[in-house]
Amino acid sequence: MRVAVGAITRRRPEGLGRLLESFARMQRPEGAEIAFLLCENDDESRVAEVVDAFRGAVPEPVELMLEPRKGIPYARNRVLGAAMAQGFDFLTFVDDDEVVEPDWLVRMLEAMDARGLDLAAGPVLPVAPPEPLTGLQLMVLNQLRQRSQRRDVERARTVGVDDDGGVEAFTGNWCLRLAAARRTGVTSFDEQTAESGGEDSAFSLAMRRAGARIGWVPEAIAEETQPAMRLSLFYVYRRIRDQERNKMLLKDRSVAKRLWFVFQRSLEMLVVGAVLPVVVLSRPEQGRKLMFNATRKAGQIAGAFGSVFGLRSRHYAASADRLHVEQNPGSGEVVAK
């Protein structure tokens, strides 16, 4: 069994370093031949030293590719293409702001084998950044954690009833059987999503439509550090808005269905707006949760309504770079090592 452990990165040398350290510590599945396929999405390498240090710490081959075309799907396709060309059986992805549990790869591959999965995903648990957080940032982080936990419990139920197939597999914690990709003809990520994001949702949906078996692996755990800059209600709104735009396009919802969705969420927002001041004053903890949920609903409304007029997500456009790359604390400058 040959396994390519993949990751892409863009101007996150510290995050990538933490991820690679977790790769170095992780258990190796018995009988597996492992190689690490990394791709830097930039016009020049800023992580070569980080990767060289990792290369010296592990016995397996480590390949670093450079993809100058800016966009997540371009970098993912470089890794996917390399894994297929080199004859690997499985390809995994985790993000460069995550770390994996020591048994992550063992658990993922055990599930792929035991359940005959073609594509799988596992939990990504939000964790705090190292710097101190404000009360509002802590509230957002706690709400993200709670939502993540509820979603993971719901997905884990599909395993208990042997209901693989309906789970959406996100590349934050992801494993693909490459023979299944060849069989279904789903052999690349949609490069038209370079600015919008959602390339993993589109890939997962295409696999499902082609009859692939897609499952959730609750034991294969990764953790994602949440940058303080993104622990804001504005970012929550922006992310949900952009995700909703992607969802409406991917699922090809009719205009009538989109407007009905907007109408439903708007009614819910009216109810929330009416009770929010009272709840915030009388039950602060519930009030914070309600405020977070109201922000999410506002993002859903804006995203669905905008999609009616052809507005697309630009979540990863150049103008949003500062939200997705590391910065020197206090300077606002992008870290470049």
Going residue by residue through the chain, which has 337 residues, state the pLDDT in tens, using 9 for 90 and above: 999 999 999 999 999 999 999 999 999 999 999 999 999 999 999 999 999 999 999 999 999 999 999 999 999 999 999 999 999 999 999 999 999 999 999 999 999 999 999 999 999 999 999 999 999 999 999 999 999 999 999 998 888 767 787 789 999 999 999 999 999 999 999 999 999 999 999 999 999 999 999 999 999 999 999 999 999 999 999 999 999 999 999 988 899 999 999 999 999 999 998 998 888 889 888 888 899 999 999 999 999 999 999 999 999 999 999 899 997 633 333 333 2
Token duo for residue 240: 């949900």
Token duo for residue 143: 């709400």
| Unique residue bearing structure tokens 């990504």 | 124
Amino acid at 334: V
φ/ψ (deg, to 5) at 254 = -70, 160
SS3 content of the chain, % helix, strand, coil (to 5): 50, 15, 35
d(CA 260, CA 255): 9
Of the chain, the end-to-end C-alpha distance in Å amounts to 35
Q: Taking a C-beta distance cutoff of 8 angstroms, is the pair 202, 208 a contact?
A: no
Amino acid at 141: L
Res 158: pLDDT? 83
Beta carbons within 8 Å of 108's beta carbon, 6+ residues apart? 92, 120, 122, 175, 217, 220
d(CA 35, CA 58): 10
Res 39: pLDDT? 98
Q: What does DSSP assign to residue 330? A: T
Res 336: pLDDT? 32
d(CA 243, CA 222): 22
DSSP 45-84: -S-HHHHHHHHTT-SS-EEEEE--S-SHHHHHHHHHHHHH
Q: Taking a C-beta distance cutoff of 8 angstroms, is the pair 272, 294 a contact?
A: yes
Res 288: pLDDT? 87
Q: Could you give the angle at which helices 48-55 and 13-25 cross, rounded to 10 degrees?
A: 10
Res 159: pLDDT? 83
Amino acid at 311: L
| Unique residue bearing structure tokens 């599945």 | 29
Res 163: pLDDT? 73
Beta strands in the chain, from DSSP E residues, in sequence order: 2-9, 33-40, 62-66, 90-94, 98-100, 119-121, 124-127, 173-177, 214-216, 222-225
What torsion do the CA atoms of 313, 72, 96, 147 make, to the nearest 10 degrees? Answer: 30
Res 332: pLDDT? 35
Q: Taking a C-beta distance cutoff of 8 angstroms, is the pair 89, 179 a contact?
A: yes
Beta strands in 128-276, from DSSP E residues, in sequence order: 173-177, 214-216, 222-225
Res 329: pLDDT? 38
Res 86: pLDDT? 98
Which residues are bridge partners to 181 per DSSP?
A: none
C-alpha R_g of the chain = 20
Q: Taking a C-beta distance cutoff of 8 angstroms, is the pair 217, 122 a contact?
A: yes
100, with CB counted inside 10 A (0-12, 13-18, 19+), is buried
Q: Taking a C-beta distance cutoff of 8 angstroms, is the pair 92, 175 a contact?
A: yes
Res 328: pLDDT? 60
Beta carbons within 8 Å of 8's beta carbon, 6+ residues apart? 38, 39, 40, 41, 67, 72, 75, 76, 78, 79, 93, 96
